[in-house]
Each structure stands twice: as C-alpha cells, then as structure tokens.
Chains A and B, each alone.
Chain A
C-alpha cells in the first residue's frame, strides 16, 4: 500500500476545497471521507452499480473509478449541490413526490446522471431516459417512477405546467368485469 499523499484544490459544487489524501484514493473516497459529502453513495466500488455517479465538467462519472488526484481544475458536482438555495431542483422535487426515491441509496447517482441528460436533451423520450440511466441500478422502485419523475422534471424545467396522470399515483382504474 502506497503511503504517498496528494495535496490539491478541488472544485466541488462551485466551491474550492483544499484536500490532502492518500494518492491512490478515489474521488468517491475523497468526497465522502475528506470533504464529508456523504450524499454520494457506493454500492460496489467496482463501477458496476452507478450509485457513486457525480458530474465532472458536466458529464456523469463513476467516482469509485476516478482518482481524486486527477481532478484538479475540474468542476465536480454532487447531489449536495443540486438544490438551489433551500429550493429543491425540479428533479429532486419530482423524485420525492413520485416515490422515485424509496430507500434513496441509488438516488444521488441517478439524480446526477439525469441532470446531465437534461442538460444535453431537455425533451428526452422515455427510451432516451432509460438509456441514459441504464448504468444505474435500483432495487426498490422497478424504475418506472424514476422515468416518470425525470420526464415530469424535464417538463417543469421547460416551463410546462401539469402533473403526471392519476394512474401514476393511484394505479389504473379497475376495469369493470362481470364475473363469469
């Protein structure tokens, strides 16, 4: 195990933070352990689950596979930087309202990946949302509420009014079926 330490300034959520860390530590470890930004999660630490996704210069990066030592001068965004003042980002609001975050553990990685998608494509189709998020695993939701939340957030960010249809909240109307 190397004892080398790296000292550098990281730009995280628009703030400059000085950190000292073992050189082999990942961005994930430095965010969580040196900067106490524990909103970024880990599910495998092998790049398999997407829970640790953060944005680096606007693009989703698996922070468990990125060395913090290579992050000087890069703009890093984590879930903690998503809300605007005390207001939730539209993605955060729709995820909370649709129960798209159940246990909430995969949520930060998915929110950040979705943010990058919407920056590039403000009107993604359902398939485009699914494709963008296909590297993020979620074990709670069955994914549909996440897709619906991203879709609704995208509409709100485009300034459109309206809420998802009632089926999304209540289930479909039970069909009438006379018993045979």
Chain B
C-alpha cells in the first residue's frame, strides 16, 4: 500500500524560498537534440532479429455478418507465416469498462468499412500485403446507419447488443437547479441549433507497433501510444496472460492529439501473433488505416437555450441554460460515454450559470469510431455557446467583451453542476486579447468584408477520475540517486511531442538544484516505471508534476539530513542549487551535489524515493459526476480578425490574438508551442478539416466510406494558411499545480472556432452556425440576407429524442449536497459503490475492508 499522499508543508521544507533557476525560463527540451538529428526512435524505427510483418484484412462493407473466410490463395503466397481470425480473440476489450465492445479481429460481424477481420503474418511486408490482398471474406450485408437521425429511426437491427436503447449507445439527462424557473424569470430567451462536423487528429506518424516474445511466456509491445497503461490492461484481458508477463513501452509518439489513446486492434494482434510465431512482429498502419482507426472528434448537433436578465448596472446575466447534444459515435464505444458527458460538463465553468440542464445522446453508426480529440467533447458545445453569446451581445447591444466580463464565473466557487473552480484567469485573458487587438475600438467598425470576433474557453487540468474505478495514484514518479551524482527519474507518462519529458526533468532538476544534463529519464514502460495513466485530458503536467515534486522533495529531505549532519549545520538552512548543496547563510560552506549524494548513500544506504498524486475528490456525487471534475481549469480567450470576400464567400484569418491562463509556465517555450499548435489545429477545424462520409451506390454495397482518407484530400492547413498569432501567457499560479502550473495542451484550441464564426458575422453580417465554415455557406447566407431571409447558414432543428427521466441535482446555491434527489438504480457492480451511489472514497473502502474493491479491476475481468 502506498504511503498516504502528503505534500511537505512549508515548515518542514528544508530549503528556504528562492527564485527558481530553471522553472519559468525557456530551455531546450530534453529530447530536442534527438528530434533534430533523427535519433528519436519512433515505433516504426524499431527492428529486431527475425522480425516479421503483419497486415490486417479490413472489412470492405459497413455492416455485415461474416459468412466465411477463405485463406486458400493467401496461404500460397511465399513467405506467409500464419493467420489470425476472430476465432483467436473471443475476449472483447475497449477503453472504458462500460464499453467492452471491440474485438482484436471481428468474430462474427463487421460494423464499419475498415473493421479488421483477418491478420496475416509474413517474412516481408510485401508478402504480407500480397497475402492480405488474397484473403477472401464472404459477407451477408445488414442495413446500415449513417447518422444520429437514422439511428433514432432504426432501433433494429442493432449495431451492438448493448447500449441504452436500440442503436443509441448512451442517453443522458441531468438537471441542475431550477431551470424552468430560470427561463420564466428571464427577460429574454435565446435559442440556437448548431452543428459541428467531425474531424480527425491526423498525427504525422502512422500508428505502429512491434511485439517481441520474451523468455518465460512473456511479451513486450512497443507502440505509438499515449496510454501504455491502458494498452497493458487491454492486452492482459484479451491475451489471458497475467499482467506481470506483459510489458508495454510507449515510444515517442509522432503526434497524438487523442488519436493514440485507445488500445487498438493492431496492438493486440501483433502481441498475439508474436506469441504464436515465437518471433518479433511489426505492423505499421497505412495512412488510410489511420483514418479508419479514427477516434476523432464526434460530429455533434446541438440545441442551446439560454435565459438572460438585464441587470440594473447594464450587465447581462444568465438565468438558466439548457443544452442538448446529439453525437454521431461511429461503430464502437471508445471513449464515447465520457465524450457524451463532456459535451455538457464544462459549460458552467466560464460564466455564472445558476441553473443548467444537459441532455445528450450518442448513437452508434456504421462509420469509424469517434473518440477523444484535443478538447475531448468540449469544442463542439463551446463553439455553440460562444456563437450563441455573440448573438446575445448583438441583440442586447453589449460589446461581446463586456457581455462576457460581466458574467464571469467567480474563482473558488462550485458551479451548478458541482465543479470546483479554483483560480480563474478568464477576465485577464479577455482583457489581454481585447487590448492587444484593439477590439473595443475596431469591433463593429471595420470596413465591409473585415471583421473581428471574440470567444473564450476552458479546459481540465486532468480528469479528476481515472478511466477505471480504483483508489491508486493517477501518477507515480520514482527517483533513484547514487554516488555518480546522476539522477534517474522513472514515470509511466508518455511523451507525445507536448514536452512532458522536459516537464518531468525540469521539476526534479529544479528541486534538487542540478542541471538537466544530470537527469536521466525512463518513461512509459509498464515493466520499469510507476504507473501514470497516460497523456490525455491534459493531465500530465499537473498530475505527474505533483508526483515528481513529492518524489524530489523527499530526496532533497534525505540529502539535507545527511549533509546537515556532516557539515554540522541545520538541514533547514541548506540550499540546493547550481549543482551544490550549501548553507544559505554562508554559501561557501557546502558540498557538490555528487558529494552530497555520497554522504547520503553512506548514511542511509541505497537511495530511491517515490511520489504519488491523487486528485482531490470532487464535491459532485450524482451519477455522471465523474466527468468534468478537475484539480484546476485553464482558461483562454481569442480575438480573430478575418477578411471575407462577399462575391465568393471565401474567407481568411488575418490575425489571431490569444491569451491563455497557464497558472505558471514550467518552460514558456514549450507553452508557446502548445498555444500556437492549438490555435493552428482550431483554425484547421473551422477552415477546412472534416471527416465526411458518403454512401457508395447500391450496386457497390451501399457502403459508408470516408470521403477523404488521404492527407491530400483531407485538407489541413499548410505553412501558407497560418496567419500571424500574438500570444499572451497569463501567469497566476494555481495552488493545485506543480509550481502553480496549469494545462496548455488543449485549452487554447477551444476559442478559435467560435471566434472565427463571430468574426465572419462582424465582417459580413451573416451567421454560420456550423463548423467548418466553407465559402459556399457564407455565400448562401449572404444570398439569404440579400433576399430578406434569415442571414444564416446552419442546421434547422434538433432531432426528437426521448431523454427519459432527468436526474435532478440541487445546486450548491439551493443547499444541495452534490447528490441527485432521484438517484437511479445503480447498474454498476455494487461493491464499488458506497451508500450514496458514488465510488467509495479510498478511506471508506479501507475502513470497510473492501480490499477487493481496490484490486479487482486490475484483473481486467468483465
């Protein structure tokens, strides 16, 4: 059992306060050199003796029963070593415990064009390709579903034999506070229907995995994964091997953005094949297969209704909001249940909202599965909300900046849906971009065809709960020191390009007062490193960072004791800096860091410390309260200037001003990279990126196929498309973050898309209520405007959905206790739940001796 989580209090802190030497300064990332010399080893760069290759045969039809598989011709291809089919994988898997709906290879049924059916191994990649081409699969077609509306209309046949109803995977309805009363008390009601098209991560690196059989029935998987721990769990379950015999190592990812955070079919297939053949097996997906694996942004249709009140001081306040979302989930669960909740969860953390109702539905469709992409489930409703607010500003005659500044959520409060907001820098962000862009002077006053738009956003600094219930740390860090003076740091986190290795090294180097070159990292290796849940939900800097602080402070404490004794000075007076441990009052008295470690090793023996991090518990205790809580929230605001050609509808972003509430930059140059990268990706989404599908003609199977499964046809911004970006980093350290740091990986994307839509309105006076915004949409809206019709392009209506009984949760202001007053019967295993219907606290579980509660999930049993 891990020690209780405890931060060293200031009184016990052995080092006096001092200015950080490294934190907050730009430094070359620790993996920077390897990345510019070609030395970084991505998964496809690995090669092992006797390595062979696997190709997957993927379904060519969108929904069908597999009648038969004929391997006859394929077996004759020279170099073929073996095959696997669905029969070899009876056990399902999936990222969420409630959606164990995938098989490494489809056993009986395929659900989208691209679903893998057969795996072929051969001595060369060419031979594997040729054999895969010769596998014949006979399908019996089933009716297909291509949209949420079709799923609502077609409850049978079901794509899956589970889910809330028919082809609806998840239906959610939650009411926080007196929503109807809020609408009744409003001076005005605003309603909008808004559409957000799906898109994909498009990481530059195609997914790749290599499995290597080891001695004693063990296997190692090297993979491009953001979440090696979750891959480890899926492999354990599907292969039926003890977790201790499986090792997963995440290589440096060539970009992730959420697209490598599910356990994937191909990872499981190569592990199984390696164990079958007794030799290393590699697979690298083609770019088309990357599009098919997807797990990208859900297409979401939204309906938002807001009541507002005009206050006597000129401000506008929200009295209540109802948000409805309909998610097109694709063929499998993936993160979809969480995605559904996320389309509703974070609407409350930016502006005061006394009453809030959220209703969401996720449908199964016969398309590649959607999942988490940068912002996971929140960019779509954020787009809707911020465009909606722009309309409220226009109608009420308020400047959009003043409208928002007048209704900001307060720091250190709990929202209507029971999220605890801590530091809150949104006001400063708005003020920075407004001042920087001259928004007050220029908005509404630019010549025709030019416009400015403002929008905001907020994101988690790590999901408050892990993906599977457990009471263990969400991040662990281990530090080993020895007489060399070198510091080895071990952590399960995965470097996906964001710079998490550098954050880890910098925190430890700062606290121990050594240089970055004295730090050696061992990361993302389930055999060697303590568990960290992975690079998703913007959790790494905060969670890993706090674990690293604890481990490093424990090491510093031990060294200070030994050095203090040796030098006969109080350990509390020792400073760790510049590679030395010295007396604060007499800097010449001290030891080099290496001698200090030698003294400590001599006194205490072999040296290693650990640190762990578990987020604080959320006050929300209703069903669904697990999605949304975070130790801290980051905030962003953007102003974007556009030019629009009214003759063609073509538009271009001219300049982006973005401010991000980072808490504290560990390394500002890495923060800048995330901000600019987030702006870029947001622009891509609103300018051009879309995962669109079309049906093939009936004689060609009626299949739903990806319109653009190539990098040429799936348009993404190039060097030529990127406007200048002015970035402001708002630093206001958050007590929950290491050195005060908050997230930056996802937040800065959020305001970009709505800021563009709002800027287009300022430029030409039409509303485009959907993303991406194509020129023809602007043109059609302009034509409608010219005819005197509604100057708008967007969806007409939200579908009729029966959301069932809503969960009624009184708000903090109503004196609620975080629980629902009509809690539903619990469908989850009772052992995991306390009387209140939520997960038992770790303390409660230990008190009740529910040890099984703490361990069962690790077995990965269904």
Contact = CB atoms under 8 A, between A and B. Distances in A.
A83 B155 CA distance: 62
Contacts of A95: 32, 35-36
A91 to B, nearest CB: 8
Contacts of A170: 26, 668, 672, 729
A144 B96 CA distance: 37
A104 B681 contact: no
A146 B720 CA distance: 13
B40 A142 contact: no
A101 B718 contact: no
B860 interface: no
B28 A175 contact: no
A108 interface: yes
Interface stretch (B356-364, B426-434, B513-521): B426-434
Contact of A103 (B497, B671, B672): B497
Interface in B236-269: 252-257
Contact of A177 (B204, B286, B432): B432
Contact of A99 (B44, B496, B673, B724): B673
A18 interface: no
Contacts of A42: 44, 206
Interface stretch (B99-107, B709-717, B817-825): B709-717
Contacts of A78: 38
A137 interface: yes
Contact of B204 (A45, A82, A103): A103
Interface stretch (A46-54, A55-63, A68-76, A154-162): A46-54
B38 A39 contact: yes
A174 B677 contact: no
Interface in B676-694: 676-681
Contacts of A176: 435
B670 interface: yes
A142 B720 contact: no
Nearest to B502: A99
Interface string B486-509: 000000000011110000000000
A39 B206 CA distance: 15
B203 interface: yes
Contact of A143 (B130, B201, B675, B722): B722
Contacts of A140: 204, 255, 497, 673, 677
A43 B253 CA distance: 13
A177 B639 CA distance: 15
A46 B710 contact: yes
A92 B254 CA distance: 18
A145 B676 contact: yes
A173 B202 CA distance: 33
A138 B204 contact: yes
Interface residues of B, number: 79
B718 A137 contact: yes
Contacts of B123: none
A28 B203 CA distance: 19
A145 B719 CA distance: 11
B673 A145 contact: yes
B257 A141 contact: no
A143 B680 contact: yes
Contacts of B647: none
A102 B37 contact: no
Interface string B37-62: 11111101101000000000000000
A36 B428 CA distance: 51
A5 interface: no
A43 B711 contact: yes
A106 B203 CA distance: 10
Given A95-B36, A111-B36, A175-B432, A142 B710 contact: no
B29 interface: yes
Nearest to B665: A170
A133 interface: yes
Nearest to B34: A104
B547 to A, nearest CB: 23
A39 B254 CA distance: 12
Interface in A110-156: 111, 129-131, 133-147
A107 B36 contact: yes
A44 B710 contact: yes
B444 interface: no
A70 to B, nearest CB: 19
A36 B51 CA distance: 14
A97 B204 contact: no
Contacts of A172: 436, 726-728
B584 interface: no
Nearest to A105: B254
B254 A44 contact: no
Nearest to A40: B38
A36 B39 CA distance: 11
B669 A179 contact: no
Contacts of A1: 126-127, 129-130
B672 A171 contact: yes
Contact of A102 (B659, B677, B679, B724): B677
A169 B668 contact: yes
Given A41-B42, A172-B436, A179 B33 contact: no
23 contacts: A1-B127, A46-B711, A46-B712, A93-B36, A95-B32, A95-B36, A98-B669, A103-B252, A103-B254, A104-B36, A130-B719, A130-B720, A136-B719, A137-B204, A139-B204, A139-B257, A141-B677, A142-B678, A143-B719, A144-B725, A147-B719, A169-B668, A170-B729
Per CB-CB distance, the 6 closest pairs between chain A and chain B, nearest first, are: A39-B38, A103-B497, A104-B35, A105-B254, A142-B680, A96-B32
Given A145-B673, A167-B727, A171-B671, 13 more contacts: A1-B130, A46-B710, A51-B204, A82-B37, A88-B36, A96-B35, A99-B669, A101-B35, A102-B498, A139-B203, A142-B678, A143-B719, A172-B727
